[in-house]
Amino acid sequence: MMHSHFYHWHNLVELKPESTVLQARWEAAAKFSRKLSGDDACSLLRLALFGTVAPEFAKRFTEALVAQEPTFRPEDNIELLRVMATAALYSKMETGSVEADAVALGFVAAAFQSDRIKPVCKELGIRAAEYLASESERKRPIPSVEGDWRSLEKATEVEGWADNPEATQLVSKAVLELGETMGRIAEENQFLWWLLGRRSSLLNTRREKLSPKEYALLAGAEAAQRVVLLPPPASVESLIDEVLLQCAKATNTAVPLADFIDATNICNLSAVTAGAEVGELCPLKGLLGVRRAGSKVDGASLEKLSIPAKLKVSPTEAANQYFRELMFLRALEQLC
């Protein structure tokens, strides 16, 4: 359904279309987002949030929009394309899907230090947050013991139940639900032991022997390893905050972002690859790549990822950001 502020999204970039074309434009953007590849999801996010776009994608996106809405400007239209990319992303998050997971997780990864991004409207960020909260809960429902399981118990008490198609269908459904429930329980237990064990699993040492600065990115990676379902539980970032408090002389003092890259033992941090070009959507991944290549993280490498050279962040901000990037990259793996 077209957002009620769609006309005003145009106004924000000083483009005022005839109101009669708005519905057609929204539908054109929604159609483009119907089946997104990882590359297309990243291209839409970079366009909507940073205003950067590869010529090939801009051409293909424009052609798709013009085919659905002939009055759409075919040239010199980057700002208008940003509006349409915003509509495509927003419409994709109206229903749950792996593509919507990737779009929402990509938004929160890119929104590291909110002044980095320049979205067309505030509604896109609000929708991403709402989507992740609701979808995370939907993927982790309370088991229906009093409903489905009681029906199964009653059906299998009858002699010869295995020859009853309805009973065998209930068994099949129960097996699938049991597997999903076990996955959710395993996820909860993993996080519980991670918190109470007071150890870094990647470094195989107690957190009290580590500084928050050297453990921050590793904490984000360890948390990501324990997520079974996407989107991740909303509570994970609070758990990351708690485990960082278990470090020696735990403080949450902000330091230059490059310090976290320099302090991290990258030998214990697996290199993360992405099938799509994520660029500035995943700044910490990019900076770790610079470090792995043997180069120093300096002002130029920060600027390339739209990060201010003098940016300072706290250990919890660095850890949570790396966790968000890893969740986004995992979501991209699910796309064609």
Question: Which of 234, 238, 239 is CA-nearest to residue 133?
Answer: 234
- Whether 278 is covered by a domain: the verdict is yes
Q: What is the pLDDT of residue 152?
A: 72
Q: Is the pLDDT assigned to residue 207 strictly greater than 90?
A: yes
Q: What is the mean pLDDT of residues 140-161?
A: 71
Same domain, yes or no, for 21 and 119? Answer: yes
Same domain, yes or no, for 66 and 85? Answer: yes
Residue-number span of the structural domain to which 202 is assigned: 198-333
Same domain, yes or no, for 120 and 19? Answer: yes
- Whether 241 is covered by a domain: the verdict is yes
Q: What is the mean pLDDT of residues 314-332?
A: 97
- Whether 212 is covered by a domain: the verdict is yes
Q: Is the pLDDT assigned to residue 170 strictly greater than 90?
A: no
Same domain, yes or no, for 110 and 58? Answer: yes
Q: What is the pLDDT of residue 146?
A: 60
Looking at 138, 161, 185, which one is the last position of a domain? 138
What is the pTM assigned to this prediction? 0.91
- Whether 319 is covered by a domain: the verdict is yes
Q: What residue type is 55 in one-letter code?
A: P
Same domain, yes or no, for 166 and 82? Answer: no
- Whether 185 is covered by a domain: the verdict is no
Same domain, yes or no, for 43 and 98? Answer: yes
When comparing pLDDT for 294 and 86, which is higher? 86
| Number of independent structural domains in the chain | 3
Same domain, yes or no, for 292 and 307? Answer: yes
Same domain, yes or no, for 63 and 82? Answer: yes
- Whether 234 is covered by a domain: the verdict is yes
Question: Which of 173, 186, 252 is CA-nearest to residue 219?
Answer: 252
Same domain, yes or no, for 163 and 257? Answer: no
Same domain, yes or no, for 157 and 92? Answer: no
Confidence band of 149 (pLDDT split at 50, 70, 90): low
List, in order, residues 6 or more apart from 291 with CB less than 8 Å away: 261, 262, 266, 297
- Whether 292 is covered by a domain: the verdict is yes
- Whether 160 is covered by a domain: the verdict is yes
